[in-house]
Structure 1
Amino acid sequence: MHAHEAGWAHAQGARGPSWLQVPEDTNALVQHLWSSTAHKNDDGALVVGGVDLRDLVAEHGSAAYVLDEADFRARARAFRDAFSDQAGWDVYYAGKAFLCTTVARWIVEEGLCLDVCSNGELSVAIRAGVDPARIGYHGNNKTVPELARALDLGVGRIVVDSFHEIERLAALVEQTGKRARVMVRVTAGVEAHTHEFIATAHEDQKFGFSITSGDAFEAVRRVLAAPGLELLGLHSHIGSQIFDSAGFEVAARRVLALHARIISELGVEPPEMDLGGGFGIAYTTQDDPSTPERLAAEMLAIVARECSDLGIAAPRLSIEPGRAIAGPSTCTVYEVGTVKEVALDGGARRTYVSVDGGMSDNIRTALYDADYSATLASRRSDAPPLLARVVGRHCESGDIVVKDEFLPADIAPGDLVAVPGTGAYCRSMSSNYNHALRPPVIAVRDGVARIIVRRETEDDLLATDMGAVQ
């Protein structure tokens, strides 16, 4: 069943998406969608990390990303404990989900490594004091200066993604006399059950070397033939927002078969392998994510079984959770500006709740057709539930934050609305569309709120506009 392009109200017989149920109490939180400390107080206001969001907005304004530090750290520790302590795997936090110097320090303090995929992310890591040996560097088009900087800093592993990159890196190590520890990114031909644009292991896409075509084996051969390049192993990533280990099982089988072929035909046993990340989180009640413990047990069993069948020793494994750590730890709080009821075809009506943010601080709804939830965050309401659409303030009809959600029917200008699950990719992919100013990231813990990324100002906005320089 496909949704009508104009929305649920235009589809015959539709009353909102089938998974969205009318709540018994619009004041109640669906707890597993929120960070661990989030709850409603007696006034019905949302409290995160011991901070009443009414007080946070009064001091810092809205829109604002509210990051639950205790929750973030606990999720990082859960992956460390499940994969590193129990399974002996390395855990790299995928910085692309959300990265700032404070978060980078948290990651190190909780015993994780860090994965970056740009020179800017590398700069944040170095500014935060992350040991370069604990950094992995991704990217499908790393430039010569970027590779040279990674070599100079002593980055722990560089994930090569093309024959051109192998040539660039080989030339650099020859010129500098340094060594580069390299992983070869491969595409295993597995398409995760996710949105087309975030499924990254099928053949027709920009990342990695195809196992099927033989490019992956040739890439390994070229790395081994290049003096100064040290082959760590193979790297595979099958996509994002994945809820079970079935896709990893197929990918592991194909990647380990290539690993075994390298041993038998090239006489080299790569010491490591990375199976990527992409572990899903709950954005709405339709999502049922796994736990780090269950993922670790299932993935360890998969690797052990495949290695046994191939008659090879298991390499040292690593994974790269990002969304699964950062995503649920953060909510975005907005202030309602207008509420508008619109008549639709067939007598249906839709209520638009406009907030002081939108696609500039959360592009995922427009980009991926992503679903989000929301709650009234500033007061208790006795009004019945109203199916509404939470939208932004930008000049785009696709500027939607939450496509469909039941909010109290008395929702009004001045109310606060909070959206959970916005810690991954929302701030990272934010923009200045319509010359909007990016919101701050405010960490909350034990009743204290502190700014870890400040709100942009008009001075920031005009700083790069050379015509505005006085």
Structure 2
Amino acid sequence: MPKTQAKRLVRSIGAQALQKRVGMRQDLSPQLWNMSYENSALTLHGVNLQTLLEQYGSPLHVLNTQKLAQNAHAMMYGHQKQQILNVYYSYKTHPIPRILQLLHSYGVGAEVISPYELWLALHLGVDPQKIIYNGPAKSDKSIEIAIDRGIRLLNVNHLEELERFAKISRQVGKKANIAIRLIFAKGWSGQFGLGVDTGEALATYRQALSMPELNVIGVHCHRGVLFDGLDDVAGYLQGIKDFLNTLYQEFDFHPEILDVGGSIAIPTVRSFSDFDKKLSETFRIEVREPTPQDYPTLEDFAEFISKDLTGYFQDVSRPIPELAVEPGRAITGNTQALLSRIVDTKETSEAFTYGILDAGISVAEIVKYEFHQVLPLQQKAQNPEKLYRLVGPICHMGDTLYPAWRLPELAKGDAISIMDSGAYFVPEARAFSFPKPGIVGLNSSGESFMIRKSDTFESIIHMDCLAD
């Protein structure tokens, strides 16, 4: 037996054994995204998504504005009729001006991490008292603007920022409203914030409270690592409450605002393990789907955070501060989908077929390390399923989005929907040989509107300086 055939046989036997171990991937229901198949066509609010591609071109992001409003409301109100949390949306997650305008119209504030994002929030007319400025690389000019405009909170990322804030406050003639970002053992490392366990955070509060130029009004933290569930949230909040007790005992300090960050996952998305990647890339075994029914709802998260912290402040007989959260992916992630056409298919001598898409790693690289459901825009029940390797249009070996995904047999011109493209897809996209896709909004009445136009060849080189 030739060596190549022997390798294929061994891999095939190994794949069969591994497939039995991990089980077969099951499609998540389109209803999780308020979608359904009508007359075999994938629809949202009664609109055949294929018609949007015909109208606006492919590839194309489609935003469900109803879902966006529902997510924002869930995080602000939980299961209550009155607002229980103040939400500051993480701009870096999906910094699309029209989408941000929608969020702000629902009452959501802005959490920004760069001079550009601060400018954008102010440019969009966000009330400075609804802006929180985080990040390790704040420019002096942006700090000056933040202090002068009186934003809600300017968060200290590292000790060295204190003197910068104080110096600029003196120059502006106004006090800076600040909080200090905490780091706990279970979370992001020392790149962002100051360690509670190391004593850095307490020492920074001690110094900040002694500086007359600074108005220390808050406590800020953001775990970074996504929560597994409500028990995980409880452990995280306990660490915050313990530190609040220390601040009160040491300095008689009580925050006016407590900002506990984000880190809430998208129920229909999960990160790959190294084992998942190996199975998919080497043995062509599809990565298993998450179990969204096992993850708390946004209402559940909001209720839990509010009740836990409100109960704590009542127990210690201290006033309840503003309770703030900074969700990103939890608000916009599952509100958007990326539609992409099959440019062509290519048969192989292996047990799979290439499906060549007009969207690749330049606009959807995230799917290389996260599960994102793929739904065909047209159901073809009569077509047998085939194993596809879904690849992008770039002449680059790394332009593989899905090493293994079973779909009804595809043909040139068919299209798919890559779900949950509303978190980091757009800000991480680049024009790598092909223009970036546009974004279209679709409201509950089935009316579509342009949110961001697709790149053109001319717009790609718009900022270049060409020789005469």
TM-score range, shorter chain: 0.7 to 0.9
Query: Do structure 1's residue 266 and structure 2's residue 251 form an aligned pair?
Result: yes
1:159-194, Cα deviation, whole Å (9 max, x unpaired): 210112222111100111122111211111114xxx
Query: Do structure 1's residue 227 and structure 2's residue 225 form an aligned pair?
Result: no
- Counterpart amino acid of 1:180? A
Shift of 1:48: 2.2
Look up the match of 1:362.
364
- Counterpart amino acid of 1:353? G
Q: 1:129 and 1:87 mapped to 2: Cα distance?
A: 22
Shift of 1:20: 4.3
Q: For 1:124, which of 120, 126, 129 is the aligned residue?
A: 120
Q: Residues 160 and 137 from structure 1, CA distance in 2 versus in 1: closer, same or farther, beyond 3 angstroms? A: same
Q: For 1:144, which of 130, 140, 148 is the aligned residue?
A: 140
Q: For 1:283, which of 269, 285, 299 is the aligned residue?
A: 269
Q: 1:100 and 1:419 mapped to 2: Cα distance?
A: 19
Q: 2:318 and 2:79 mapped to 1: Cα distance?
A: 21
- 3-state SS, counterpart of residue 432 of structure 1: coil
Query: Do structure 1's residue 425 and structure 2's residue 424 form an aligned pair?
Result: yes
How many pairs align?
436
Counterpart contact for 2:183–2:196, Cα < 8 Å: yes
- 3-state SS, counterpart of residue 362 of structure 1: helix
1:366-397, Cα deviation, whole Å (9 max, x unpaired): 4xx11111111045441122232322122433
Q: 2:326 and 2:456 mapped to 1: Cα distance?
A: 34
Q: Map 1:43-442 onto structure 2 (within 5 A).
A: 44-82=40-78, 86=82, 88-191=84-187, 200=188, 204-281=189-266, 282-283=268-269, 285-288=289-292, 289-304=295-310, 307=313, 314-344=320-350, 349-366=351-368, 369-378=369-378, 380-408=380-408, 410-433=409-432, 435-442=433-440
Q: 2:23 and 2:319 mapped to 1: Cα distance?
A: 45
Q: 1:109 and 1:57 mapped to 2: Cα distance?
A: 28
Structure 1 vs Structure 2 CA RMSD: 2.6
- Counterpart amino acid of 1:299? I
Counterpart contact for 1:95–1:322, Cα < 8 Å: yes
- 3-state SS, counterpart of residue 360 of structure 1: helix
- Counterpart amino acid of 2:113? C
Q: 2:261 and 2:24 mapped to 1: Cα distance?
A: 31
Q: Percent identity?
A: 25
Normalising by structure 1, what TM-score?
Answer: 0.85
Counterpart contact for 2:77–2:85, Cα < 8 Å: no
- 3-state SS, counterpart of residue 15 of structure 1: helix
Q: 2:207 and 2:23 mapped to 1: Cα distance?
A: 50
- 3-state SS, counterpart of residue 182 of structure 1: strand
Counterpart contact for 1:64–1:334, Cα < 8 Å: yes
Look up the match of 2:4.
none
Counterpart contact for 1:16–1:404, Cα < 8 Å: no
Look up the match of 1:41.
38
Q: 1:54 and 1:405 mapped to 2: Cα distance?
A: 21
Return 5+ residue gaps in structure 2 as ranges.
Answer: 1-10, 271-288
Q: 2:114 and 2:21 mapped to 1: Cα distance?
A: 38
Q: 2:80 and 2:128 mapped to 1: Cα distance?
A: 19
Q: Residues 333 and 190 from structure 1, CA distance in 2 versus in 1: closer, same or farther, beyond 3 angstroms? A: same
Counterpart contact for 1:9–1:16, Cα < 8 Å: no
- 3-state SS, counterpart of residue 363 of structure 1: helix
Shift of 1:140: 1.5
Q: 2:164 and 2:184 mapped to 1: Cα distance?
A: 25
> Which deviates the most, 349-358 or 420-429?
349-358
